[in-house]
Amino acid sequence: MRKFLFVLVMLVSALAAQAQEMYLGGGISLWRNDDADRTKFSIAPEFGYNLNSRWAVGGELVFSHSYEDGTSLNSFALAPYARFSFYENKIVRLFLDMGFGFSTTAVKDMDNYNGFEIGVKPGISIKLNNHFSLISKIGFAGFRDDYFRGENGLGVDLDGENISIGIDYEF
């Protein structure tokens, strides 16, 4: 038990020493369509580590629930990525999240199905203060197969309907 506590204290100390290099964030969504009797909800926490001023590594965990005409779907996804920042000034940073994702979707009274995606998501970060940034990812370019977001196939989707907005906290 003492060894475990010692390792835990050392880990927390190491993380605290890496100030301004780690970030947490994510987004949530909720949509209800009364006409179609459809409800969608998702929560997507995101975490990452800034390796230097240009590169970061991170990942996104996603839980999504949807209900339509008596059918309930629950989806989980894990999407690690490498982030390359190609432009930055004091307030704005432009970046590309390059990565892949794995998902599994459970439909009530049916077998689960799995999917994946691999591609690039362009994004923008607007620094609000020393710790908080507004993050937006716009579109997707790559390949998806039975991934719970978007259509299957290969291509570029920079549609205005494919925008995510969230907040990151850097510590």
Listed in order, strand segments (DSSP E) in the chain are: 22-33, 38-50, 55-68, 71-88, 92-107, 113-127, 132-138, 140-145, 153-157, 163-170
- Does residue 140 fall inside a structural domain? yes
Going from the C-alpha of 11 to that of each of 4, 6, 56, the distances in angstroms are 11, 9, 20
Q: Let me know if residue 3 belongs to a domain.
A: no
Per-residue confidence band for 11, with pLDDT thresholds at 50, 70 and 90: low
pLDDT at 127 over 70: yes
Query: Domain total for the chain?
Result: 1
Looking at residues 107-122, what average pLDDT do you find? 89
Is 9 part of a structural domain of the chain?
A: no
Dist. CA 144–CA 99, nearest whole Å: 12
CA–CA separation, 42 vs 63, rounded Å? 6
C-alpha span between 4 and 23 (Å, rounded): 25
Q: What is the domain range of residue 45?
A: 21-170
Say if residue 153 is exposed, middle or buried (CB neighbours under 10 Å; 0-12, 13-18, 19+): exposed
Q: Are the CB atoms for 161 and 149 separated by under 8 Å?
A: no
Residue 2, in any domain of the structure: no
Q: What is the pLDDT of residue 10?
A: 63
Mean pLDDT of all residues in 59-67: 93
* CATH assignment at residue 56: 2.40.160.20
- Give residue 112's pLDDT: 87
The verdict on residue 6 lying in a domain is no
Under DSSP, is residue 13 helix (H, G, I), strand (E, B) or coil?
helix
8 pLDDT band (50/70/90 cuts)?
A: low
- pLDDT recorded at residue 9: 59
Helix ranges, the chain (H): 2-17
Structure tokens at 113: 């199905």
pLDDT in tens, 82-105: 999 999 999 999 999 999 999 999
Q: Mean of the pLDDT values across residues 31-38?
A: 84
Residue among 100, 105, 97 at smallest CA distance from 117:
100
14 domain-assigned: no
Is residue 4 scored above 70 in pLDDT? no
